Structure 1
Amino acid sequence: MEFTAGGRLEVRITPSDVGKRVSVRRRAESADGAAKFTDTVGVLTSWTGGVLLITRRTGETVRIPESSLVAGKVVPAAPARRRGMPAASFEELARVSARAWQPVESEQLGEWVLRAASGFTRRANSVLPLGDPGIPVDDALARARAWYAERGLPAYVQTATGAEGTQERLCAALAERGWEREVTAELRTGGLAPIGDLDADVRRVRLGRSVDEPWLRRYQRFGVPGPHVLKVLGGGPSVWFATISGESDVPAAIGRCVVDGRWAGFMAVEVDPAYRRQGLATAVMAALARRALDEGASAAWLQVESDNDGALALYEGMGLAVHHLYHHFRYSRSS
């Protein structure tokens, strides 16, 4: 990382750069007393009282004493988009992915949306903040905590980091106010046609418009599936369910796809462990992609947790690249 000007290290950032993406180098003492240097890249979310807060792409906030800085500079807002990836803003993808996980009930709070579905999936039971709530942030968060408490639910806020227009400053504000980051996942995008062209035995895949009992038996993300589960899974502009039968009444593999204009979102792709490494996930994805292409979609997106190594390798091989990361923060501090 190049910090020098005329061969000298320089700190070329100031408090006026709060909100910008920066790269800094700081000095830290090692165990043997020798000086060592650590680099941090992220959004400068505050600079007060001689302390910088930098929120990384992962959602982690790093506190850096101003006195330890040896170099710093502003860097581009986001990494360059990989060639062939569909152009999309964070806000567009946030709205598209939200429509694929529609809540049972919601309430508008300025440009925030409070969403609830009796606790089934955080994506349908969290605040979606896409602008100004219309009141001070502390008041908005108090309103959200009360709204979820009335429904017997924990209060979550869904945020994003790592792309232009994402919410690093809100992540830092939540952490300062006692909200803890519980889950981090990647939102990946790519071309849809390459997925539809995958070499897979799609003849084994049965597609349908509604979820059935066998599909639900494979999708073990709840106890007894109540009406709220069926409503969330069936909600969306154009929803398709994929099933590959196994040797029992539980499918060998399943998947779900929501077609929304140019976008096809893939989710709930699950394979019985006894059937893994047989290309079933690829077959499910290819069959759903071909149906989405028939409906006029051209781009793909999906969400995958950052520690799911097997799924990450599969999707990377399909040409799906990280657009941004998203997080769910849960309120944990007593009011």
Structure 2
Amino acid sequence: MVDLPSVRRLEAVGFRAWPAASVQYDGSWLIRLTAGHASKRLNSVNPLDPSDYRDIPIRLGKAGKRFADYGRPLTVRQTPLTPPQLIAYMDNEEWAAFGHSLVLTADLAEREFGDGIDHLPIKDVGRFVDARILIGKEEPQTKPALTEIINAIKPECGLFLFEDLEIGPTAVSLVVQDNDLAGIMQFAVAEGVRRKGVGSALLDASLRWARLKGAKKAWLQVEAENEAAVELYRKAGFTEVYRYLYRTPGA
């Protein structure tokens, strides 16, 4: 049984942790759009009330026009807060489903960190973004948009960067501290150093900093098919709270 109050709170902190350029509401449907970045989380309709299912075709049509203005395909992010009637409508219209993801949390209050080395976050957003793009093998053209998104985050952030003298950046993590919750974002480990303890060390450093800042619980979102990452997080004590996926018109 999914705890809807927990889902609502995690959804709210997730939106603050990864802010879209344009935010509009249609009833309780939150429409997020960002022209400069193709992230699904930044370009999706997010229904936030299971009881808000009036005029589904009309509202989706209006949302579709907004997405078209941004050059984006209409995309609905389906969570436990999505009205069953909307899900049934998308099913009947044979909307595609993709991007199946897990939302995980871990308790930090009683966590034992061992004797690992403390790592301090860096202050240079540009350096962090360059490393994230390199490790994630993303297009360099995404740098301005990613930099703008990070600079727009209002809660306190910790930018963690691991580097090797010979191969350069090896891992990055963005920690967003929001009251007693800390979100682990943009977590990435270079392909050449995976399964060598780098990811565990980075996650440990990120969570140490979060608890030092007052976080009692950490949360993160990870695609279900990313088995290595899911395994890393589960070993670190993260457990599943709920799942979500994305829907677009057309099979």
Match in the other structure for 1:198: 113
Question: Are 1:149 and 2:63 matched, yes or no?
Answer: no
Which of the residues 218, 229, 240 maps onto 2:158? 240
Return the letter of the residue paired with 1:329: R
Match in the other structure for 1:39: none
Match in the other structure for 1:128: 46
Deviation at 1:142, TM superposition (A): 0.6
Return the letter of the residue paired with 1:149: A
SS in 1 for 2:68: helix
Distance 1:231 1:146, change over 3 A: same
Matches of 2:240 and 2:175, distance apart in 1: 19
Native 8 Å contact 2:133 2:143 kept in 1? no
TM-score, normalization: structure 2?
0.86
Matches of 2:38 and 2:110, distance apart in 1: 32
Distance 1:248 1:235, change over 3 A: farther
Match in the other structure for 2:122: 208
Matches of 1:319 and 1:201, distance apart in 2: 17
Match in the other structure for 1:170: 86
Range with greater deviation from structure 2 (257-266 or 232-241): 232-241
Instruction: Say which structure is richer in strand.
Output: 1
Match in the other structure for 1:266: 184
Match in the other structure for 1:41: none
Distance 1:167 1:186, change over 3 A: farther
Name the count of aligned residue pairs.
245
Question: Are 1:289 and 2:210 matched, yes or no?
Answer: no
Q: How does 1:310-325 map to 2 (within 5 A)?
A: 310-325=228-243
Return the letter of the residue paired with 2:198: L
Which of the residues 182, 189, 203 maps onto 2:98? 182
Instruction: Give the fraction of aligned pairs with identical amino acids, expressed as a percent.
Output: 24
Instruction: Say which structure is richer in helix.
Output: 2
SS in 1 for 2:215: coil
Distance 1:216 1:200, change over 3 A: farther
Deviation at 1:278, TM superposition (A): 2.4
SS in 1 for 2:121: strand
Deviation at 1:140, TM superposition (A): 1.0
Distance 1:273 1:228, change over 3 A: closer
Distance 1:234 1:279, change over 3 A: farther
Distance 1:158 1:217, change over 3 A: same
Return the letter of the residue paired with 2:117: V
Q: How does 1:1-335 map to 2 (within 5 A)?
A: 78=1, 89-118=6-35, 119-131=37-49, 136-161=55-80, 167-193=83-109, 197-199=112-114, 201-203=116-118, 205-211=119-125, 212=127, 213-236=130-153, 237-248=155-166, 250-332=168-250
Matches of 1:200 and 1:120, distance apart in 2: 40
Can you give the 5+ residue segments of structure 1 that lack an aligned partner in the other structure?
A: 1-77, 82-86
Matches of 2:205 and 2:5, distance apart in 1: 24
Can you give the 5+ residue segments of structure 2 that lack an aligned partner in the other structure?
A: none
Deviation at 1:172, TM superposition (A): 2.6
Matches of 1:200 and 1:175, distance apart in 2: 51
Matches of 1:292 and 1:134, distance apart in 2: 38
Distance 1:191 1:202, change over 3 A: same
Cα deviation, 1:27-52, whole Å, max 9, x if unaligned, reads: xxxxxxxxxxxxxxxxxxxxxxxxxx
Return the letter of the residue paired with 1:207: P
RCO (CA 8 Å, sep 6+): is it higher in 1 or 2? 2
RMSD: 2.5
- Larger radius of gyration, structure 1 or 2? 1
Native 8 Å contact 1:160 1:167 kept in 2? no
